[in-house]
Amino acid sequence: MKLIRVLPYVLKQVTRHRVRSGLTIAGIMIAMFLFTAVQAMNQGVREATQASASDTTLVVYREDRFCPATSELPQDYQSRIQRIDGVASAIPIKVVVSNCRTSLDVVTFRGVPKAEFLADKGDKLELISGSLDAWRSRTDAALLGETLANRRGLTPGMRFDAAGITAYVAGVIRSADAQDQNVAYTALEFVQLAGRDRLGVVTQFNVKVEDPALLESVAAQIDELFSTAQAPTSTFTEKAFVGRVAGDVIELVTFARWLGLGCLAAVLALVANSIVLGVQSRIGEHAVLQTLGFSGRLVAWLIIVEGVILALVGGGIGAAAALLLAGGGNFALSVEGTTIPITADTGLLVTGVVMCGAIGVLAGLVPAWQASRREITECFRAA
C-alpha cells in the first residue's frame, strides 16, 4: 500500500528529468522494436517448418532440384502415385515465380486442376471477397492469398501481371497455411502455357496420405517407384520441404536471434544507466526521505519501480510499433516458391512487455540495494 501511495513521487522523478528519461525511453523503443521484429520472423519460421501430428501432406519434387524453374516432372506420374497404398490424393502443381531468389515481394503462381484442388483444400480456405464461380469459369482467373492481395493492393475484378503472366483476380482467400497466403492459384493449363512450358509437365505433386503415420513409408515408396525413371523424385513432408528449400532464410533468422539477445542487453544497459545516474543525483533526496520515515526497503522499491516504468513505456511502444508494422505491412520472405511469413500477434506484444518489466526490475536491483544500505549521515555528506 505504501508503494502505491508514493507512486506519484516515482512518476515525478521520471518526468522531472525529461531529456534523460526521453533518451532512455527512445533507446529502449528502438531496441524492443528490433527484438520484436526478430521474434516475428522466428515465429513465422516455426509456423512454416515445424511439423505437427496432424500433418498429412507430402511434396514430390524433382531430385536434386530447388528452384521451380528447374523441377520438371511428367504429369502422368499422378496416376501412378495415386495407386500407392495409403495415398488419398495427388495434385499436380505447376509453379512459376517472379523471382527465384530470396525477396520480400515475390509473386508465386500455382497452377492446379481446379476441381481436384477445391475437393482437397476447399474446406480449409476462407473466401474473403470475390467468387469461386468466376474462378471456375475463367481460364485466366486467379485466387489470391490475402497477404499477396493486400501487399499489391489487388481486389476482385482487377488484372495484374507478374512473372510474365497476366491474370484476372477472381477472389481473395484466407488460410491458416502459410503457403496459401502469398500465392495466386490459377488453372494448371493456364500457367503451363503462359509460362511457355509444354502441357503435361509440372513442378511438383502435393500428395495427401490417409494417415500421418504413413508419411515416411509413402514417401519412400514414391521415390522408389521413380528411382530409375528419366525424372527421379525426392519426396518430403510439406514442412520439411519448406525447411529444405528455405534453408538460407532459416539460417539468417537463426543468426538474427543473436541480434534479439543483443537488443535485450541494450535495454538492460539503458535502464541501468538511467537509474544509476538518477540515484547518484538524488542521494540528498533519499536522505530526506529516510528522515521523513521512509525505510531503506521502500527507497529501494522506489528505485526499482522507476526502472520498471522506463522499461515498460519504451518497450511497450517499441513492441507495439513492430506489431503494427508486421501486421499492416503483410511482409513475407519468399524463396524458390515457398513462403516464410513474418507474423506477430498480441501474444508477442505481451511477451515483450513482460520481458521489459523483468529487465526493469533487474536493472534496478544493484542501485536499489546500494541506496537502501546507505546511512542518512552518509547521504547528507555525499550530497
How far, CA to CA in Å, does 13 sit from each of 216, 227, 275, 307, 309?
63, 74, 11, 11, 11
Same domain, 161 and 190: yes
Which three cell numbers mark 229?
525413371
User: Please, what is the Cα angle at 161 between 156 and 165, to 5 degrees?
Assistant: 110
d(CA 236, CA 220): 9
- Residue 291 in domain: yes
Instruction: Report the pLDDT value the prediction gives residue 287, as an integer from 0 to 100.
Output: 61
Same domain, 98 and 161: yes
Same domain, 219 and 318: no
Instruction: Report the pLDDT value the prediction gives residue 53, as an integer from 0 to 100.
Output: 55
For residue 59, the cross-strand partners are: 206, 236
Instruction: Report the pLDDT value the prediction gives residue 179, as an integer from 0 to 100.
Output: 77
- Residue 195 in domain: yes
Instruction: Report the pLDDT value the prediction gives residue 205, as an integer from 0 to 100.
Output: 93
- Residue 39 in domain: yes
Same domain, 194 and 104: yes
Q: Are 263 and 35 in contact (CB under 8 A)?
A: yes
**Tens digits of residue pLDDT in 24-42:** 888 888 888 888 888 887 7
Same domain, 292 and 350: yes
How far, CA to CA in Å, does 147 sit from each of 118, 156, 167?
20, 14, 17
d(CA 359, CA 375): 28
Which three cell numbers mark 65?
532440384
Same domain, 181 and 272: no
Instruction: Report the pLDDT value the prediction gives residue 314, as an integer from 0 to 100.
Output: 87
For residue 161, the cross-strand partners are: 166
| Number of domains making up the chain | 2
Which three cell numbers mark 113?
486442376
Same domain, 137 and 201: yes
pTM of the model: 0.72
Same domain, 205 and 109: yes
Dihedral angle, C-alpha 229, 61, 126, 174, nearest 10 °:
-160
- Residue 273 in domain: yes
What is the secondary structure of 148-186 as a DSSP string?
HHHHHT--TT-EEEETTEEEEEEEEEE-SSGGGTTEEEE
Print burial letters for 81-99: b (CB count within 10 Å at least 16), e (below 16): beebeebebbbbbbbbbbb
d(CA 166, CA 162): 7
Q: Which domain holds residue 336?
A: 2-48+248-382
Instruction: Report the pLDDT value the prediction gives residue 143, as an integer from 0 to 100.
Output: 93
Give every residue of the chain whose pLDDT is below 50, as ranges.
Answer: 382
Same domain, 272 and 223: no
Same domain, 201 and 138: yes
